[in-house]
Amino acid sequence: MSSFSHTTLISSVKLISKCTILPELVDDHPMFDKPIKLSISDLPMLSCHYIQKGLLFPISPHPTEALLTLIKTALSKTLSLFPPLSGRLITDPDGIIYVAPCHTESGVVQFTHASALHVSINDVISPVDHYLDDVVKREFFPLNGAVSHDGHFMPLMAVQVTELLDGVFIGCAVNHAVIDGTSFWNLFNAFAATCRGETRIWRPVDFQRNFVKDSQAVLSFNNGQRPAVTFDVNAPLRERIFHFSKQAIAGLKSRANTQHLENAEQAGKLSNDDADKRGRLEISSFQSLCAQLWRSVTRARNLEASKPTTFRMAINCRHRLRPKLDECYFGNAIQSVRTVASAGEILSRDLRWSADELRRGVAEHDDGAVRRIAEEWEREPRCFPLGNWDGATVTMGSSARFPVYDNDFGWGRPVAVRSGMANKFDGKMSAFPGREGDGSVDLEVCLAPETMDGIENDQEFMQYVSDWLVTDI
């Protein structure tokens, strides 16, 4: 049972203070003295909300004021490694958008201290209290509703520290036109390492913004207005985090790959050549999980068999380009891989078939594909169309490979990762590593209420879902 009433919870989330943080001046850290042009991978994100991700920690041994001083000092030092985050966006007379140095209040990083002393760790991680989950999203993160284009007059980054009954929540919001998920967690890792006292934090950050090419493409907005998000932020939505243990993921992967062999043998099509290709074409753990999700969501939506369905997957392009981008490339280096199949195909064929469609799309997204998509965008610049316009789309973001649980601020590993209100719509999914590691995965699933009811009653899906209890904090 939760340790609060709903009325108590609302009054318990209190804003204590706000301030601004500037980068610490360090001689051997990068100077930010000239504008950095947004790339053709940054610009489409101008209509997206700021990235909002946060980590739940056990209670700190430090008194409140000492804890806040520690975190603020670490943030200032971290900003000296990532100085563009203390700037703001500007648009020149030709319509080119830059991240520019700014020393006014709109250009520094916002820091908020809040208190929710009636909320416990177990309240936050409860998989069933949807009311609390909504309050966490709304109250534990800064810059709710901010769109990346707002970086022209709002901070590019903000941090909120919320004290709980038995823990601390550190929420971070960063402009999505300036940073992608890989860069976000590189930043968060450096922030945590600085806070716990490490002096050698990170490899030099690459600020060149040379994704594919130096493009002169310009995004135009009606009457100079900011772009709006491309989905209905007020649409009814339910959200739940489903936990998949290492064993469950292994079971899914085994099922996907075993079905392939069984079906081929039954059809008499398993030649020696096929056998030789099995290892090369093996379905991965994550492809198996995504395929199961695609199947179960499609079934829960009760779509006509002929209805086209789409699975969109955000992928990191740093290692796909030739030459490769540095892993510390700071900015957006992502594209969306789109896989389409009819509802009938998804549901009438086995898990392997759907997973192999996803595998093929990712495998084929090489250097040539990355450059081709960039050139297509350059010919017709547009903001990225987030949303579920046809009622049959699933969009997978984040990554189960992000080093989420490496973020020890000095008093222990995170208990859980959570995200805010940003960029959530029917069909939006985010993958995170499970806290226990070893291949476990947490899926943050956002769906229309009736669709969520459907997958919660889908035995094919739920047989792989397990409860997750915090036992080692």
| Alpha carbon distance 36, 324 (integer Å) | 21
Residues 6+ apart with CB under 8 A from 388: 231, 395, 425, 426, 427, 428
3-state secondary structure of 113: strand
User: What is the reported pLDDT for 220?
Assistant: 86
397, β-bridge pairs: 430
Rounded to 5°, angle at Cα 236 from 232 and 238: 120
Residue 247 is which amino acid? Q
> Which are the contacts of 223, defined by CB distance < 8 A and separation ≥ 6?
none
Check if the beta carbon of residue 176 is closer than 8 Å to that of residue 334: no
Q: 397: which DSSP letter?
A: E
Structural domain spans, the chain: 6-224, 238-462
**Strand ranges inside 95-221, DSSP E:** 97-100, 109-116, 157-164, 167-174
Q: Return d(Cα 337, Cα 41) in angstroms, integer.
A: 14
pLDDT along the chain (473 residues), means of 10: 44 87 77 88 97 98 97 96 94 94 75 95 75 80 97 96 97 98 97 92 80 90 82 94 96 87 47 42 94 99 99 97 94 97 98 96 97 96 95 98 97 96 97 94 96 98 82 51
Query: Across-strand partners of 336?
Result: 314
Residue 59 is encoded by which pair of tokens?
């209670």
The amino acid occupying position 445 is V
- Contacting residues for 205 by C-beta, under 8 A, at least 6 apart: 30, 81, 82, 186, 328, 330
Distance, CA of 229 to CA of 150 (rounded, Å): 12
CATH 3.30.559.10 fits 6-224, yes or no: yes
* pLDDT for residue 200: 74
* Encoded tokens for 446: 């956002």
What's the confidence (pLDDT) of residue 9? 47
Tell me the CATH number for domain 238-462: 3.30.559.10
Same fold, 6-224 and 238-462: yes
Beta-carbon-side half-sphere exposure of residue 115 (alpha carbons within 13 Å): 9
For tokens 């022209």, name the residue.
152
**What does the alpha-carbon distance between residue 117 and residue 14 come to, in Å, rounded to a whole number?**
9
- The model's pTM: 0.92
- Sign of torsion over alpha carbons 328, 331, 337, 343: positive
Contacts of 28 by beta carbon, 8 Å cutoff, 6+ apart = none
Preceding amide of 323 cis, omega within 30: yes
DSSP state of 326: P
Amino acid residing at 130: H
Residue 52's nearest CA partner among 471, 467, 444 is: 444
φ, ψ for residue 455 (rounded to 5)? -75, -25
